[in-house]
A and B are shown apart, each in its own frame.
Chain A
Amino acid sequence: MSNNKSCRLASQLASNAFERRLSFTEWFRLRLHLMMCQSCRNCEEEIHLLHDVLALIRKSNGTFEVDLPQKDRELIRDALRDVAKE
């Protein structure tokens, strides 16, 4: 990270931290940038929030309420009957 002022690079590092361990230099530069930049602090907090929400959704098999349409249900049922015959 050659440019300490770059928000684009700061947000890249903030995101990378979810996938890999940042080097000390990267970590330090990110923290330094965040100290100076409210927008990047907000961005970092918000991608953390999204990451946490997604982890909880994963754990609870979370999903929204939508029903398998009747025609799809019938298609699957027919396929299951075919397999059962084999």
Chain B
Amino acid sequence: MSSKKPENHEKAGEQTGNRNAEEWLTLYGDYLYRYALFRLSNEEIARDMVQETLIAAWKARKNFRGDSSIRTWLVGILKHKITDYIRKQIRDRNLANRLETDPTSDFFDAHGQWRQPVHGWAGDPERLSSNQEFLRALNACIAKLTEQHRHVFTLRELNGEDTDTICKACDITPTNLHVIMHRARLVLRKCLEKTWFGDNKAI
């Protein structure tokens, strides 16, 4: 034990050897919950993921090497849990191969032309990605996607999985994945146009 004044909570925990899950809950509970809720859009499942993460971390506490912060370590575990959960949902319920009505069919006429002109808007990715209000609007739009689109889109764009991994883990054909991503992107674009960009909240 060191007599050095701890610089932050994380160091305090490490220095006293107090790697205890309840303390992690106090310190990082909100952070982990936000992370999970943003990716799952469901409070109950987000809470379960945080709980499973803290239990898994506590059981594996000897594996924490201290070469990253505890928070980073916990987020790493949480990310795996979320990926596993979504993959299982898609695979076990055959979500990806379920035939759904195409939510983008309203966007085009019989000749494949846009029914309404697509307006131009722009924003700065850096500033948007850290703007609280925009993140809320984005999350609300992701939450409105169909379950199939939301889950596949989250694996791909928020968890950053490559397409081969998603296809294998979730039992989706590449063609199906491409169709789902296309539809999800167009619906999301339209939703954000309505709630954000077209409403002049561009950042």
Q: Which of A5, A15, A42 contacts B112 (CB 8 A)?
A: A5
Which residue on chain A has the smallest CB distance to residue B119? A42
In which size bucket is the chain B interface?
Answer: 35 or more
Q: Are A77 and B25 in contact (CB under 8 A)?
A: yes
**Chain B nearest CB, measured from A44 CB (Å):** 9
| Residues of A contacting B: mostly | helix
Bound form: Cα–Cα A66–B120 in Å: 32
Q: Are A66 and B33 in contact (CB under 8 A)?
A: yes
Mask for B12-56, Cβ within 8 A of A = 1, else 0? 000000001110010001101111011000010001001100110
Q: Does B159 contact A (CB under 8 A)?
A: yes
Which residue on chain B has the smallest CB distance to residue A76? B51
Q: Does B96 contact A (CB under 8 A)?
A: no
Q: Which of A38, A45, A46, A63 contacts B35 (CB 8 A)?
A: A63
Q: Are A56 and B112 in contact (CB under 8 A)?
A: no
Bound form: Cα–Cα A24–B84 in Å: 36
Residues A11 and B186 in contact in the complex (CB < 8 Å), given A19-B177, A79-B55: yes
Q: Are A43 and B189 in contact (CB under 8 A)?
A: yes
Q: Are A20 and B178 in contact (CB under 8 A)?
A: yes
Q: Are B120 and A42 in contact (CB under 8 A)?
A: yes
Residues of chain A with a CB closer than 8 A to B8's CB = none
Which residue on chain A has the smallest CB distance to residue B116? A39
Q: Does A51 contact B (CB under 8 A)?
A: yes
Q: Does B94 contact A (CB under 8 A)?
A: no
Q: Are B138 and A53 in contact (CB under 8 A)?
A: yes
Interface size on A, residues (CB 8 A): 52
Which residue on chain A has the smallest CB distance to residue B138? A53
Q: Are B112 and A63 in contact (CB under 8 A)?
A: no
Q: Are B181 and A19 in contact (CB under 8 A)?
A: yes
Q: Are A80 and B34 in contact (CB under 8 A)?
A: no
Residues A76 and B125 in contact in the complex (CB < 8 Å), given A58-B157, A61-B35: no
Q: Are A6 and B22 in contact (CB under 8 A)?
A: no
25 contacts between A and B (CB under 8 A): A5-B112, A6-B111, A6-B112, A8-B104, A8-B112, A12-B182, A18-B181, A20-B174, A20-B178, A38-B118, A40-B118, A42-B119, A46-B189, A47-B186, A49-B123, A58-B159, A60-B129, A60-B130, A61-B75, A62-B38, A66-B34, A68-B30, A68-B47, A80-B51, A80-B58
